[in-house]
Structure 1
Amino acid sequence: MLLSCFAAALVFGQLSFPFAFDPSDFKTCPQVGFCRRGRALAKRATESSQWVSPYSVRPESVVLSPPNASLSAQVFSSLYPGIRFELQVDVLEHGIARVRLDEVNGMRRRYHQAASWALVAEPTLMAPGVVWRFEESGIRALYDDVELEISYAPLTVKLIRAGREELVLNGRGLLHLEHFRTKTAAPSTALSEYQAVLHGNTESNGWFEGGEADGYWEETFKAWTDSKPKGPESFFIDIDFPHHSHVYGIPQHATSLSLRETTGGNQYFSEPFRLYNNDIGGYDADSPMSLYGSIPLMHGHSTESTVGVFNLVASETWVDIFHPVLNKSTATHWISESGIMDIFLLPGPTPDLVFTQYASLTGTAPLPAYFALGYHQSRWNYISSQDVRDVSRRFDAENMPMDVVWLDIQYSQGQKYFIWDNQSFPDPVEMADELAAAGRKVVAIIDPHLKTSNDYPIFSEAQDKGFLVKDAEGEIFVGQCWPGSSAWLDFFNPQCQNWWRGIFSLNSTADGWRWAESTDNTFIWNDMNEPSVFNGPELTMPKDSVHYGGWEHRDVHNIYGMLFHKATASALVHRTGTMKRPFVLSRSFYAGSQRFGAIWTGDNLGTWEHMAAGIRMILSDGIAGMTFSGSDVGGFFGNPDPEMLVRWYQVGAFSPFFRAHAHIDTKRREPYLSAEPYRSMLRDILKLRYSLLPVWYNAFREASVSGIPVLRPQYVVFPKDSHGFEIDDQFYIGGSGLLVKPVTLPHVESAEVYLADDQVYYDYFDHQVHQGAMGGRYVTVSAPLAKVPLLYRGGSIVPTRLRPRLSSSLMKKDPFTLTVALDKTGSTASGELYLDDGETYTFEQGELVWRKFIAYPSKDGQASLIVQNHNLASHTSARDIVGGAKFQFYDGKNAYAREIDSVYVEQIIILGLKEEPKRDLEIDYRGGSYGMNNVLSSSLTIKNLGVRVVDDWQILVQW
């Protein structure tokens, strides 16, 4: 969708193009009072060798709660003796430690409800297994191979494994919760008082916060004034990774995967990383500026271990990063505007375990509807139902697969969402039904702002029911967005979410207004949900606006978009009597958003730099749980030349979410409009994506139960190979063994691909062999314009469907091809195939097919290879490792398995044979015997097999 500041120009008649991004529309740290205060505190601490945190635990107040996995204690500041805090430390399942600090009996309550939105459920305490040791200086909790050390004075928390500090909270003494106060009580302190405290005078009141009340009670940015009625309530905390040289995460930022320094001797950025959801289209391709989503999760990584920190705060947050000791460790400083301190320490010690630990808290990305993994065709805007039909027909005529056509804001009457423009779209139901007959879907945009018009039933109902956000004076907040004068739905109100569900109902008995001109093949795009407000400060909602429960927008800003996403996904699931998987794309997101659907990287530019940045952003999103992610193929702004467009389609085809989208002022660039030879190249890329849909579905299934991302960066797959820790331009697709390095530079005919291990890799297209090495090496892979560097890793078996179809639904009963990429010994390989109906939730009751393919040498001493297919779902390994649910009712003859019992494996391609096989082939399948052809010394193709996917069988290849 279009950038808000560009959109504001459009709304107010100031349209200019090309768009020029203006960073002055958005704040920097020096323009934000609490960020200034946080950085000033860090500067004072750094400059003083005598700096000591004033926060300490009262030993006599420590209380253990059953089942001995939870501790509480009183915390005091030596400089604010009248202010009391409570520390809560919980040891949770998976070895996670939760550390909370909140003001007790203060003038008002700090925002404490972020966990209720982000967490999938209340975390379960570890029981039994925690041993507590009370010592003079503090307390130790011992469990698994982890030690949690809580020091009394000053208060610090350390996660230790094998005697090595892995994570440290407040080790540098930067912890500070700005307690609530009256305006008249704000202290005025001087630098001399601060110096006196350092020399032993602890009676001074206020030195910790600096010499003046900087931005406590009111703050102005350009024409906007934030009234800040509650005064200062920020909190700061230093979180250090003493033995981890690299940190990843805290999306969304357009920058490198391994996060660069923002302060210190090797400073790369002058600004901290900002977490504050904003509509920043045409953004810089390398910047710590906040973008559309915010997830306060960070991984620390080294060759020895991986750990994680999840700082559960919903307000604007800035994060400084530096490497204090020769890049062997990483120090971070988190500066948040409001909320309690609620930090989860994820002990790892591997990347996969950190993913699982985080997923146990916030949930996993669900198994998506199968069609959602196909190709999505969008632009702003398809102007009529006839236009939509023409696009679908042109894809068919050009033999190009496509699953979804998207509709931007012009489908609606005056941007009144749900209300079709009956001049351009007189028959929306018939249009959707025609696409459905071709195996395709429609996605329509629905934004969270409502036109303030009494003839708009959605606005009228929301107003009458009190479901709209209020301004600081208690009136409905009104701002400018696409419809002009707009109000914003308040999804923090549970009743608003229930009402929203009813609007989507296809049941004619539903109460209230409902979207009757819709179908169960119409899906939704939630845009502008940061929220984007054209005439608001930083193009968003004023922080002193008020939500349900009396909480200010400053407290919940980063959560807002997620709740809109959640409400819409729930509405789609329940719109008919039969629960079907939803598809909802959201631009804004927060921790836990992965439970509700896909996201994308926003309004990018049609440049090579943004093409490359999109890959890094998708990898970073996946690290923080948002694994169903993609970038606008071709760039939202601009008109890519044919070479760039081809390369961008290659990037999109290897992104979890694959959508082409473009600005209304760009030239039409549907792939069938390209001239030859580019049109054929684009067709081949689309077909490649569809042939690999089984691989993508396998990867999403694994992500749905483990939290491990669909796209896996180099450090995730090879966590002990330090040469790969900064690599962010290549990646693996799930556990398939497929390694991809898209080309993101012009006029390139080859690519340097890093191979981290002593394993053989095969070119996907011509089977050329590339040999890795211990310690890693780069190999040159041919990459003419028509080819993306794509390799099989030795030891993998990859299932594909090679018959060309025009949509994914038409492939459901197509046969499979198995490519067996033997390891460097030429003897072993393995892979999986997971299938279900791709639409409903019946797989949760065991309606599925899950097969394991393995290749191994026979044990009778013959020179031979066995390729075997057996049922995986009935084995004990088939379990949900996050939730613990097993396929306990799995039946190999379940209804879905019976439905696809005619689906077969039509050919097997074996790569890496050391010798030429015999001409005869033995197949243990109902006593059958089959022939083979296309025999090569290193590559064998076995055709016309006809062995069924649902059956157990094995093939013996002898030489």
Structure 2
Amino acid sequence: MEVGDMDRWRQKKNGFLALGLVLLVVAVTGAHAWKKDEFKRCDQTIFCREYRNLDIGSSKWYVSDVNLTNGKVRARLVNEDDGEAEHGGSLILHLSAYQDGIVRVKVKEADQKKKRFEVPDVIVKELEEKRLWIQRLIEKDGASMVVLSGHEVVLLHKPFQLYVRNGKETLLSLNAKGLFHFERQREKREGENWDDTFRSHTDTRPHGPQSIGFDVSFYGADFVYGLPERATGLTLKPTKGAEIVSEPYRLFNSDIFEYIYESPFGLYGAVPVMQSHGEKRTTGFFWLNAAEMVVDVLAKEKAEEGAAEEVSRVDTHWMAESGAFDAFFFIGPGPKDVIRQYTSVTGKSIMPQFFATAYHQCRWNYKDEADVFQVDAGFDEYDMPYDVLWLDIEHTDGKKYFTWDPVLFPNPKEMQDKIAAKGRKMVTIIDPHIKRDNNYYIHKEAQSKGYYIKNKHGADFDGWCWPGSSSYLDMLNPEVRSWWADKFSYSSYQGSTPNLYIWNDMNEPSVFNGPEATMERDNIHYGGVEHRDVHNAYGYYFHMASVEGLMKRGENNDRPFVLSRSFFAGTQKVGAIWTGDNNADWDHLRVSVPMLLTLGLTGITFAGADVGGFFGNPDAELLTRWYQLGAYYPFYRGHAHLDTKRREPWLFGEPYTSLIRESLHTRYALLPYFYTLFREANVNGLPLMRPLWMEYPSDKHSFAIDDEFLLGKDILVHGVYSEKAVSEEVYFPGSQPWFDVRTGASYSGGQTVQVPVTLDSIPVYQRAGSIIPRKDRFRRSSFQMENDPYTLVIALNGTYEARGELYIDDGKSFDFEKGAYIHRLFTFADGRLTSTNLAPGNKGTKEFTTSCLVERIILLGLKSKDLSSHRVLVESSGTQVSAEIGPSLLRKGYHQTNSLVVRMPKVRISDDWSIKVL
């Protein structure tokens, strides 16, 4: 083992790792930040270095032989240098179009020595059903044009360029800057060395250089967004040009511990999708390629004096080490359109169980069963709700997954049953590295079946992770994924119960002694695919297999819950992710917002950041602020490193215990609203956390704001990101007022306000014109809230109108796909609140019912002169109920004037009814 590898180990978790007869003690320092010299820079990467040095217009490709074949455009791409024999043959381009403004371009060698890897199981099967049959090709002035519904695609012949247009307006282009380069496979020349070295590792590159690079331009764009995952702001800042010198945005899934703030280096996941936005239009681009990738955002060059002003445009340069060219263009025109178009290609978000949307408590590690019960009892003692208790790697027998430590966790079923008796669940960790121990049944079977990834010599790859010597399952192979899924059965995973769910960590994959803390790129997967081609998707396939395991494990029809650290395009249809090993500091609290917003823009809606920070010890104020902000994350989990001080949410004493308790209660009260938003994501792909410009696309002031966000379209959240803060600058978008959710104070839209803050809360507001459903009774878990009544909070706009929705199902099964759900629309107009059915009449064969009542209706935004009357008529029954006139209790300890509260109208949440305020 190299010195550098040992140094990296010392940054990791404690544990005894066996290598033959030698025991290596791995010390955890916890104080050292990520060492960037352990990861490749662009100038150390052959394809990146070469492509970044290319001149604008250097591409020599042109188009010939354009025709229509099976409803697609087929063309030949020829390089001007093809007179030189060593450059090989031409390329074949296929252009296809799909419903709803999607254009797809694929390019491959006409004669392939070895088939390039095309990433499977990302594109949804239904996409092909939406393909448009192109019937006409227009040839004019050295170009071929396809006219589609609402837009057209123009293929220029020489030089090769592609433009997507809407009438005279250009939306997107490929190779407009002449940076398209495609390294075709060829024979090695005598004396040529294809090997690539980094530190002590050599990558043999047996098939030679296979890189692809090209430029994409977004017209009418002020900013571009996307390319998770990295700890940076929401907008992707320029990385090259106009005297800017920085690293490009790298997409290479890596186990980067204690990642640093404002770095373009990629973290645990990669989604090669970008969205542009301007005042008039939003467009998007997606490259389906799982190899290492880098992207430059090119700085705008200064226009020459007297030159005509150009249309706003953002140019980008995309480069990948290998893999296929399979690209999608999304024409918008709005932000929600682009997300819908992208998720119609890669899949909509999974619908989580109701419990998974509540609070999760985790630590590496709760040390034994007594510790588990003590933590569980602490939540009850301090009247704090939670739904899931998590166990990290120390719960296993010697880091062997699907096992339990016989001393620390001797009765796992009884432990889970006691937790489940309160309506709570548990999660255990299962990572992809398999301990090479001949007494371990998983290893013995995987080895005998040949299910491990192979090294370049054909032997099982042997790397190092928590158990020591480990091998890694070849999850690209569907047979291996199916076999792995079988291991989650109750007979195989002994000690597991239906109330146990799963956590996949280290699935980048992390290999402590490998290059860049992962495995060698020339390792071999199923079908002869090199690891370099599948690297960024490996964690996705492991995640997929674990989800399949929960689907197969028993007779119940419950939806799976599996959290993954690594992810790729399409992960949203598999499960949840989190932002990895963050730090307990104010910068990481703040950057969690743009990190989660970016994930949402790339389809991954069910995501969160470790509340409190994984590394380090937050003080009471920072922890409280994180709980307050995390209550509005889609995934809400507290988590901490083994070496940190215990930080269960009651340990910091008053007033912090009460403040954290209030944050947890806030989350639980809003669970009906969260669940409704998760259903929206499941249907149309929209994220729960949204940048302001998603709902206010023409508001230029909002385009770069990333310290506040919208939860759905009706709640505005701004964190508090500095110690002892007394105010925060909040921008209120739109033309309607926003109401403080605690005090009811209103702020006009379209302005920035220096809002005073105290330790009690962070700035959160409800949009005028909205109706938000809540459940306000305090319970120990979401399960105990099932039959609780609802509160409807109505924030009236300037015309005394409001609108909101509520989605309900059984919270656990797939019966909602067969029609077993309730979807209500609430409207307030002309002094009348009405509940109507939003579900289609033919929604399916299953039914779901609930007897839950509405116990309270709160109207905000009334004028004083309208508070003289207090009679309320429930028109569906003809009964009258009393209404309490403000000041009314909005949240504990806060009163709001100019409001009206209707108590116990005695209507069911699932029925049609109307209530008239007389």
User: Which category of TM-score, normalised to the shorter sequence, fits these structures?
Assistant: over 0.9
Is the Cα–Cα contact under 8 Å of residues 867 and 885 in structure 2 kept in the other structure? Answer: no
Counting only pairs closer than 5 Å after superposition, residues 13-412 of structure 1 correspond to structure 2 as 13=25, 15=27, 16-41=29-54, 45-46=55-56, 51=57, 53-58=59-64, 61-66=65-70, 68=71, 70-81=72-83, 82-111=88-117, 113-127=118-132, 131-184=136-189, 217-265=194-242, 267=244, 270-325=246-301, 328-412=312-396
Q: 1:587 aligns with which of 565, 572, 577?
A: 565
SS of residue matched to 1:99: strand
CA deviations on 1:347-374 (whole Å, 9 max, x unpaired) are 1010001011001100011110110011
Measured after TM superposition, the shift of residue 935 of structure 1 is 4.2
User: What is the match of residue 497 of structure 1?
Assistant: 481
CA deviations on 1:449-500 (whole Å, 9 max, x unpaired) are 0000000000111111111000010000001100000000111111111111
Is the Cα–Cα contact under 8 Å of residues 231 and 262 in structure 2 kept in the other structure? Answer: yes
CA deviations on 1:838-884 (whole Å, 9 max, x unpaired) are 10000111111111100001xxxxxxx00111111137xxxxxxxxx
Measured after TM superposition, the shift of residue 163 of structure 1 is 1.0
Measured after TM superposition, the shift of residue 909 of structure 1 is 0.4
Is the Cα–Cα contact under 8 Å of residues 907 and 943 in structure 1 kept in the other structure? Answer: yes
| C-alpha distance 569-4 of structure 1, shift in aligned 2 (>3 A) | farther
User: Which 5+ residue runs of structure 2 have no aligned equivalent?
Assistant: 1-6, 18-23, 303-310, 888-896
Return the alpha-carbon distance in structure 2 between the equivalents of residues 596 and 151 of structure 1.
39
SS of residue matched to 2:128: coil
Q: 1:916 aligns with which of 848, 867, 886?
A: 867
SS of residue matched to 1:100: strand
SS of residue matched to 2:367: coil
Q: Which region of structure 1 is more displaced relative to structure 2, 327-336 or 93-102?
A: 327-336
Superposition TM-score, scaled by structure 1 size? 0.90
Return the alpha-carbon distance in structure 1 between the equivalents of residues 821 and 700 of structure 2.
40
Return the alpha-carbon distance in structure 1 between the equivalents of residues 8 and 142 of structure 2.
54
Measured after TM superposition, the shift of residue 325 of structure 1 is 4.9
CA deviations on 1:668-692 (whole Å, 9 max, x unpaired) are 0000212111011111110110000
User: What is the match of residue 788 of structure 1?
Assistant: 762
Return the alpha-carbon distance in structure 2 between the equivalents of residues 3 and 130 of structure 1.
58
Is the Cα–Cα contact under 8 Å of residues 694 and 801 in structure 1 kept in the other structure? Answer: yes
2:241 partner amino acid:
G
Q: Does 1:765 align with 2:742?
A: yes
User: What is the match of residue 894 of structure 2?
Assistant: none
Measured after TM superposition, the shift of residue 786 of structure 1 is 1.4
Measured after TM superposition, the shift of residue 245 of structure 1 is 1.8
Return the alpha-carbon distance in structure 1 between the equivalents of residues 458 and 384 of structure 2.
54
| C-alpha distance 583-14 of structure 1, shift in aligned 2 (>3 A) | closer
| C-alpha distance 867-156 of structure 1, shift in aligned 2 (>3 A) | same
Return the alpha-carbon distance in structure 2 between the equivalents of residues 419 and 63 of structure 1.
59
Q: 1:685 aligns with which of 663, 670, 673?
A: 663
Q: 2:544 aligns with which of 566, 578, 585?
A: 566
Q: 2:614 aligns with which of 630, 636, 646?
A: 636
2:368 partner amino acid:
S
1:789 partner amino acid:
P
Q: Percent identity?
A: 42
Return the alpha-carbon distance in structure 2 between the equivalents of residues 700 and 545 of structure 1.
39
Measured after TM superposition, the shift of residue 266 of structure 1 is 6.5
CA deviations on 1:363-410 (whole Å, 9 max, x unpaired) are 011110110011100010001112111111110111100000000000
Measured after TM superposition, the shift of residue 99 of structure 1 is 0.5
User: What is the match of residue 826 of structure 2?
Assistant: 853
| C-alpha distance 953-3 of structure 1, shift in aligned 2 (>3 A) | farther
Return the alpha-carbon distance in structure 2 between the equivalents of residues 324 and 697 of structure 1.
42
Return the alpha-carbon distance in structure 2 between the equivalents of residues 115 and 307 of structure 1.
25
SS of residue matched to 1:450: strand
User: What is the match of residue 812 of structure 1?
Assistant: 786
Return the alpha-carbon distance in structure 2 between the equivalents of residues 5 and 666 of structure 1.
16
CA deviations on 1:592-642 (whole Å, 9 max, x unpaired) are 011111101100110100111111101101110111111111111100010
Measured after TM superposition, the shift of residue 3 of structure 1 is 8.8
CA deviations on 1:31-66 (whole Å, 9 max, x unpaired) are 11111111122xxx24xxxx45311111xx223134
CA deviations on 1:265-319 (whole Å, 9 max, x unpaired) are 263x610000000001111110100100000000011101000000111100000
Q: 2:853 aligns with which of 904, 914, 917?
A: 904
User: What is the match of residue 451 of structure 2?
Assistant: 467
Q: Which region of structure 1 is more displaced relative to structure 2, 15-24 or 397-406?
A: 15-24
Is the Cα–Cα contact under 8 Å of residues 33 and 259 in structure 2 kept in the other structure? Answer: no
Measured after TM superposition, the shift of residue 76 of structure 1 is 1.1
1:909 partner amino acid:
I
Q: Does 1:836 align with 2:791?
A: no
User: What is the match of residue 912 of structure 2?
Assistant: 952
Measured after TM superposition, the shift of residue 153 of structure 1 is 1.2
2:142 partner amino acid:
S
1:65 partner amino acid:
T
Q: 2:650 aligns with which of 672, 675, 688?
A: 672
Measured after TM superposition, the shift of residue 130 of structure 1 is 6.0
1:388 partner amino acid:
V
User: What is the match of residue 422 of structure 1?
Assistant: 406
Q: 1:706 aligns with which of 654, 669, 684?
A: 684
User: What is the match of residue 874 of structure 1?
Assistant: 840
Measured after TM superposition, the shift of residue 889 of structure 1 is 3.0
SS of residue matched to 2:693: helix
Return the alpha-carbon distance in structure 1 between the equivalents of residues 736 and 816 of structure 2.
36
Q: 1:541 aligns with which of 506, 519, 528?
A: 519
RMSD of the TM alignment (CA)?
A: 1.8
User: What is the match of residue 775 of structure 2?
Assistant: 801
Return the alpha-carbon distance in structure 2 between the equivalents of residues 818 and 357 of structure 1.
33
SS of residue matched to 1:418: coil
Counting only pairs closer than 5 Å after superposition, residues 472-551 of structure 1 correspond to structure 2 as 472-506=456-490, 508=491, 514-551=492-529
Q: 2:700 aligns with which of 722, 743, 746?
A: 722
Return the alpha-carbon distance in structure 2 between the equivalents of residues 131 and 687 of structure 1.
60
Superposition TM-score, scaled by structure 2 size? 0.94
SS of residue matched to 1:896: coil
Is the Cα–Cα contact under 8 Å of residues 411 and 424 in structure 1 kept in the other structure? Answer: yes
Counting only pairs closer than 5 Å after superposition, residues 2-13 of structure 1 correspond to structure 2 as 6-7=11-12, 12-13=24-25
Measured after TM superposition, the shift of residue 661 of structure 1 is 0.5
